[in-house]
Structure 1
């Protein structure tokens, strides 16, 4: 075999491998729920980095303070969206997670302050914040179970059940604490665990990443994850193969309530205070992050990577608008338009499949 023939053979093999990799990438984008948002996220990041390099003084996207603020903003909504996304895969919604976010955080902070005092106070207990947190998480989980039982027992759309629950928990927050903000300065080691930093990486984003990995394993490598997809995709077929949809949806609702409570507590520890109405409206942002990330509104389709990318993309756009000094309503317009486009795309992919 001549040198030229060998070169042609190697070139043909390399070209075939390149085409194979390109074909695999295209197939992944087409078949995965997060495929489209992954492409859009990468393109937005490339544009932002290029703009930061071209205009380093006026567009400080790559500055450490900006990156730190961006990461801190992503974490609370991302944590909440993980629970909301799991519930959406199971075919249900929870509009009360924003109200639970505030109520559970206020209960946790109140008990922490009562049992241990503020950080630095003489006699302050280092375990008090953890005790308050456990109570707050238990309330969020129990609330999710109650929402599930009411929805399933009386065959009410979860949209209606949790809409009523949103108003209930909002009123419970005002009844329990009032309308004034609550100071939350937990003692060590709680403060370091939930409000510490490693450079620009805040503890809250680490918790978001940890739970994203856990939920990825649950959804894609555990039996209960298969149950979520099966129940959300076709409940009758799920029942036919022996899956209990009631138990599955109760678990999904409980996860959503737990993550809403955790999100509120993590955000409260970061900010140092909790507003009674601070969580209202966040349920729509969390649902938007899931929809943008490829979740189907009817259930049965979605991924944890999609939730992460959807949340990151939303807050990247918000950060860009802030750096450009654009009016705040531009962000709402963008998110609204992106939700509609994402739903249309998901419906088209679902019909094709």
Structure 2
């Protein structure tokens, strides 16, 4: 019998029981999950913001109805896009062109609606086009064994240029019907529709990752492609589906934003791809793939915009956001590395 084996009838070590069942053990298990660190950071920041809002309601209007409404409208712009990027990153790939897809599909959708095509047809077609553009990046990357980071970097510049080629540098109005705009960017009671879409997509993606075999395949190909192949998983198929999800989420986010604002500018979407990656990393998605959660991506997106909102309320310079987000990315990457070997998916 080895020294690690507990003999029958032996009294268990009380310290081991305490560690396993106590509050400290629960905290350790929470920190070991992909979304554990971001959940704790999110709760702390929300507690501080709510406290400051209650103590100084006139100077720090965080809890005002207008500020909450603005947040519920604005968060999904990044959040929906980040959900698709998160699924792709868990599979072990990147797509830097999602910001350009976001703007390009919104511009083209506005153009075809202005030409007479109903938004109910134009929007699904452009969402499918976004999926096709991102899948093309995946095909090139996987077919020629090129890093998806490099392939999508080229695609980002290409489609950014295509926006100006198609429409020039001027803004274009989004003229969808009232029913379509209400569905995309209206309200249901106190809830803003963009946030409802964001929440629903996060919930569906969470179910896919945790309770569907395809979610297991995503984790498998992101964690160890050779092992996944040996177990009968087709890595190319899984990755291409994830590319399609990233592109379709980018297009959907762009169309929702256009419906909400009522217009689209060619420069719209600039930098969103990096913010989406930041939201994923802050939310516990491993840069190397194979680890992450949609809950973490959801919280990461909300946290980034919360920081931006706080800075605006405090009238701080805009570049402070880059400072805070940059620091969060590094800290989150370090935390992910520390818990990577101990955490669960």
TM-score with structure 1 setting the length: 0.90
Structure 2 CA distance for aligned equivalents of residues 130 and 103 of structure 1: 18
- The answer (yes or no) to whether the contact 1:65–1:200 under 8 Å persists in 2 is no
Structure 2 CA distance for aligned equivalents of residues 143 and 198 of structure 1: 33
Q: Which residue of 2 aligns with 1:255?
A: 245
User: Is 1:143–2:140 an aligned residue pair?
Assistant: no
The one-character-per-residue Cα deviations of 1:19-66 (angstroms, maximum 9, x if unpaired) are 936256314322210101100100111111110111111011100000
Structure 2 CA distance for aligned equivalents of residues 208 and 159 of structure 1: 26
Q: Which residue of 1 aligns with 2:107?
A: 106
Q: Which residue of 1 aligns with 2:8?
A: none
Q: Which residue of 1 aligns with 2:275?
A: 285
- The answer (yes or no) to whether the contact 2:92–2:288 under 8 Å persists in 1 is yes
User: Is 1:160–2:150 an aligned residue pair?
Assistant: yes
1:299 deviates by: 0.2
- The answer (yes or no) to whether the contact 1:294–1:346 under 8 Å persists in 2 is yes
Structure 1 CA distance for aligned equivalents of residues 106 and 40 of structure 2: 36
- The answer (yes or no) to whether the contact 2:97–2:134 under 8 Å persists in 1 is no
The one-character-per-residue Cα deviations of 1:99-131 (angstroms, maximum 9, x if unpaired) are 000011111111112125xxxxxxxxxxx0111
1:203 deviates by: 0.8
Q: Which residue of 1 aligns with 2:287?
A: 297
Gapped runs of 5+ residues in structure 1? 1-15, 117-127
- The answer (yes or no) to whether the contact 2:32–2:342 under 8 Å persists in 1 is no
Equivalent of 1:234, from 197, 219, 224?
A: 224
CA RMSD of aligned residues (A): 1.6
TM-score with structure 2 setting the length: 0.92
1:280 deviates by: 1.7
1:178 deviates by: 1.1
Q: Which residue of 2 aligns with 1:338?
A: 328
1:223 deviates by: 0.9
Q: Which residue of 2 aligns with 1:125?
A: none
SS at match of 1:335: helix
Q: Which residue of 2 aligns with 1:97?
A: 98
Q: Which residue of 2 aligns with 1:45?
A: 46
Residues matched between the structures, number: 327
- The answer (yes or no) to whether the contact 1:181–1:273 under 8 Å persists in 2 is yes
Structure 2 CA distance for aligned equivalents of residues 231 and 21 of structure 1: 35
The one-character-per-residue Cα deviations of 1:164-204 (angstroms, maximum 9, x if unpaired) are 00011111111111111110131131011012123552110
Runs (4+) of structure 1 exceeding 3 A deviation are none
Structure 2 CA distance for aligned equivalents of residues 275 and 164 of structure 1: 21
Gapped runs of 5+ residues in structure 2? 1-16
Structure 1 CA distance for aligned equivalents of residues 79 and 36 of structure 2: 19
Q: Which residue of 2 aligns with 1:83?
A: 84
The one-character-per-residue Cα deviations of 1:118-163 (angstroms, maximum 9, x if unpaired) are xxxxxxxxxx011110121111011121111100000000000000
Q: Which residue of 1 aligns with 2:32?
A: 31
Q: Which residue of 2 aligns with 1:213?
A: 203
Equivalent of 2:296, from 306, 310, 314?
A: 306
Q: Which residue of 1 aligns with 2:212?
A: 222
